[in-house]
Each structure stands twice: as C-alpha cells, then as structure tokens.
Amino acid sequence: EPEVTQTPSHQVTQMGQEVILRCVPISNHLYFYWYRQILGQKVEFLVSFYNNEISEKSEIFDDQFSVERPDGSNFTLKIRSTKLEDSAMYFCASSEGALYNSPLHFGNGTRLTVT
C-alpha cells in the first residue's frame, strides 16, 4: 500500500540553526499538510499546501517556517532559526482530495530535538 515517507526520523539541532524536514507524499495525492505534536500533547495543524501554494496556515506557522514542493515528489518544511520550543514530532500528511470524506494519510514523523 502506498505510504507517506518522512526523513529523517530523528533530527537533533542546536538552537538558532536551520532545519529542513522532508516528505514524499503518496504519488497521486494533491493536498499536503504539516502537523506537529509536542510530546504527549495534541496534534496541531501547521499548514496546508495545494497547487504549489499555501492554502491555509495556523498561528503557529510564523515567519520562521516555510514550505516548498521543489519537485514533483518532495514536500519540505523549513524552520529557519530553531527555538527550544520547536522540539516536537512533525508529521507530514497527504490527501487525495479536499472533500470531507478524504482521509489524511500520515508519515511516520520526524522527531525534532532542539538543544
């Protein structure tokens, strides 16, 4: 069964450094998302992306965050200057459609630790 692939599975970085989290969505999916989950807490929406542009972003997704689909397969989340509070699990998800009956399929996540 097709799946969403995220790399790396773990990333440790120093405060102030830039990180890029990578995702390969399911190939026929058109809608892409990033979510984050601070340890033991709720899964929070960051951003949705369709047709090569951001569809919606949350308050969390401030100027230090950016997303890109550099080619036909990859979808990346960049955090420009990481802060301690950015430590979390970051999930990429994709969906075939935007209708209410389309589930989001999630990758296995990237655990980001900022020291």
Partner 1 sequence: AQKITQTQPGMFVQEKEAVTLDCTYDTSDPSYGLFWYKQPSSGEMIFLIYQGSYDQQNATEGRYSLNFQKARKSANLVISASQLGDSAMYFCAMREDLNRDDKIIFGKGTRLHILP
- Judged by CB under 8 A, which of 11, 13, 74, 102 binds partner 1? 102
Q: Which of 84, 99 has the CB closer to partner 1?
A: 99
How far apart are the C-alpha atoms of 50 and 69, rounded to whole Å? 10
Q: Among 2, 20, 56, 80, which residue interacts with partner 1 (rule: CB under 8 A)?
A: 56
Instruction: Give how far the C-alpha of residue 26 lies from the chain's centroid of Cα atoms, to the nearest Å.
Output: 14
In sequence order, the β-bridge partners of residue 89 are: 37, 111
Single residue of 17, 55, 73, 115 touching partner 1 by CB under 8 A = 55
* Rounded Cα distance, 8 and 94, in Å: 18
Contact status: 76 vs partner 1 (CB under 8 A): no
